[in-house]
Amino acid sequence: MTLTLDIVDDVAGIDRIETEWASFLYGRAEGHTVHHHPSIFRAFLATEQGRSTPLVLVVRDADDGDSICALGCFFVWRGAFELTASVVTLFSLPSRTLKLVGDRIVFARDADATACALRIVRALSTLGEHYDLIHLAELALPNPLASAIDRAPAGLREVVVRKRREHVYEHTMFEDRAGYDRWLGSKRRNTIKRNTRRWRDNEAKSRGCLRVVRDVADAPRFATAVARVRRETWQAKTYGIDEATLGPDYVRFLEAFASRGWLRSYLMERHDGTPVAFIIGFQGYDTYHYVDIGFDAAHRKDHPGVAATYLMMEDLYEHDPPARVDFGYGDNRYKRAVCNTTYVSRPMHLTGRRRWRAAFGAQRFLDDAARRARALVARAGLEDRVRDILKHRS
């Protein structure tokens, strides 16, 4: 196998190989997701409004007519590396950060994954003019890309920023709803019943209900409702809001999924039509991707986010069930309640520049200080109170 590399660093390049790219996904590839499709990747870049540019590394086999054997779907995000203490941002450094779509390179079924991953990593080490640092937020292990990075050239060094171990959460679907209910057990089923009672449409005292969003025609109204709720979430009040997720480009992003039958999102509304919570999700290639959730913090006592997740799971079992539900990385109670599969995830920061190694070291120091502070708060029995203050401050 003689490997060559094709570098795509603009949208015109995506257009140039789009047909070949899509054919590779449908024909020879394995382990890919809906996010790897060229039309979806292009729609994502449009939502970024110039903040992100593609850097797609296409590995070809010269001995097989230059056919694609691996695809590293990266992009360069022009933003900032933020030094944070818990949820407080202390300082921001403008940066060009290289990120990966999903958590892995897409390989052909018959490809030498180790050789292809090494070819991509070695190429990245020579493309430093395109980026300042590499941030791979979640690499579910085992992962050929992580293994290749461990063998990377000296010019591309991993620097540990956050010491805590992350996990990727997944729900592997049971054969039917009855199997799911048996797995939950009576205690969790009672908890779910309690948390969803106020949001079931058939309940006398229902606050509202959860509606599924799948069609192209539904995307504009759903995007408007998401924008309205997003402004009232605790995340927006704590961290601010990404305006790129509120405009017409985001509507077209949702429409790109819907046009391929991959949009499957949820909107929780009161009976008067007021949106209260949303789940943004996509389903394709036997996987449901639980991408984002948000709820109006004014309704937090009614647990709309938790209820939306539980009601979503019921709908996934009852209509067009996938093989698995990918909840991504990051820990919280509703994931622990419904997920039956967990993978260790390895977050990685890499850079060849001394300035960024120093910034990573400063963040590691702040994380250590925050960890000690959390331990003190826990010993004082104030953990829940402090978390509530941080999440719901106005």
What residue has token string 């984002």?
292
Distance of alpha carbon 211 from alpha carbon 190, whole angstroms: 23
Q: Cis peptide leading into 304, omega within 30 of 0?
A: no
The pLDDT of residue 245 is: 67
DSSP letters, 149-213, are: HHT--TTSEE-----SPEEEEEEEPPSSHHHHHHHHHHHHHHHHHHHHGGG-TTSTT--EEEEEE
The pLDDT of residue 208 is: 81
Tens of pLDDT, residue by residue over 118-139, are 999 999 999 999 999 999 988 8
> In the predicted model, what is the mean pLDDT of residues 46-58?
95
Tens of pLDDT, residue by residue over 57-82, are 999 999 999 999 999 999 999 999 88
Distance of alpha carbon 35 from alpha carbon 25, whole angstroms: 11
The pLDDT of residue 238 is: 73
pLDDT level of residue 394 (50, 70, 90 thresholds): very low
Give the highest mean pLDDT range of 140-144, 148-152, 153-157.
140-144
Half-sphere exposure of 326 (CA within 13 A, CB side): 19
> In the predicted model, what is the mean pLDDT of residues 213-231?
95
Which residues 6+ apart lie within 8 Å of 76 measured at CB? 52, 53, 54, 55, 96, 97, 98, 99, 130, 131
Does the pLDDT at position 34 exceed 60?
yes
The pLDDT of residue 388 is: 67
**β-pair type (166-172, 88-100):** unpaired
Does the pLDDT at position 228 exceed 80?
yes
**Which residue would you say has higher pLDDT here, 381 or 222?**
222
DSSP letters, 324-352, are: EEEEEE---HHHHHH--EEEEE--EEEES
The pLDDT of residue 140 is: 85
> Helices (DSSP H) in the chain: which residue ranges?
11-27, 38-47, 113-125, 144-150, 177-196, 219-230, 234-239, 248-259, 304-318, 333-338, 354-379, 383-392
Does the pLDDT at position 204 exceed 60?
no
Q: Quick one: what percent of the chain has pLDDT higher than 90? A: 59
> In the predicted model, what is the mean pLDDT of residues 286-302?
92
Does the pLDDT at position 387 exceed 70?
no
What token pair was written down for 195? 């948390």
Tens of pLDDT, residue by residue over 206-221, are 778 899 999 999 999 9
The pLDDT of residue 330 is: 76
> In the predicted model, what is the mean pLDDT of residues 232-246?
76
Does the pLDDT at position 289 exceed 60?
yes
Tens of pLDDT, residue by residue over 173-187, are 999 999 999 999 999
Distance of CA 218 to the CA centre of its chain: 23
pLDDT level of residue 161 (50, 70, 90 thresholds): confident
Average pLDDT, the chain: 89
Q: Quick one: what percent of the chain has pLDDT higher than 70? A: 93
The pLDDT of residue 372 is: 85
The pLDDT of residue 351 is: 86
Does the pLDDT at position 153 exceed 70?
no
pLDDT level of residue 255 (50, 70, 90 thresholds): very high
Does the pLDDT at position 303 exceed 90?
no
